[in-house]
Amino acid sequence: MEDTMIKLPSELTIAQVDAYQKEIIPLIEESKSITIDDSELVRVDTIGVQFILAVVTYILAQGKSITWQSKSKILKESIKQLGISDAILLQYVMD
């Protein structure tokens, strides 16, 4: 599999992270290029933002490429509110 679309759920909170991680890790491992779509995301908590950062870091550490699609206002607001200034995450989400 070359390209994979990962669609973030409407809610990415501590309650969803474990199940969602199990769902997307195999997709990441089978792909060379990942598109992350956050268009349905309406609620994200601190754990959800940390999870997204971990996923982005994991994808890049494997030498794979990422394309970010949509750029959820909720995600941007959460990143600002939490004071996250991680360059990796900001590069994809905040431009």
> What CATH number is given for 3-93 in this structure?
3.30.750.24
Residue 68 tokens, joined: 């970010």
Predicted confidence pLDDT, tens digits, the chain (95 residues): 578 999 999 999 999 999 999 999 999 999 999 999 999 999 999 999 999 989 999 999 999 999 988 778 898 888 888 887 766 777 777 65
Which pLDDT does position 76 carry in this prediction?
85
Q: What one-letter code names the amino acid at 10?
A: S
- What is the C-alpha to C-alpha distance for residues 79 and 53, in angstroms, rounded to an integer? 10
Q: Bridge partners of 27?
A: none
For CA atoms 8, 45, 26, 33, the dihedral sign is positive
pTM, two decimals, is 0.85
What is the residue extent of each domain of the chain?
Answer: 3-93
Decide if 89 contacts 52 (C-beta within 8 A). yes
Which pLDDT does position 54 carry in this prediction?
92
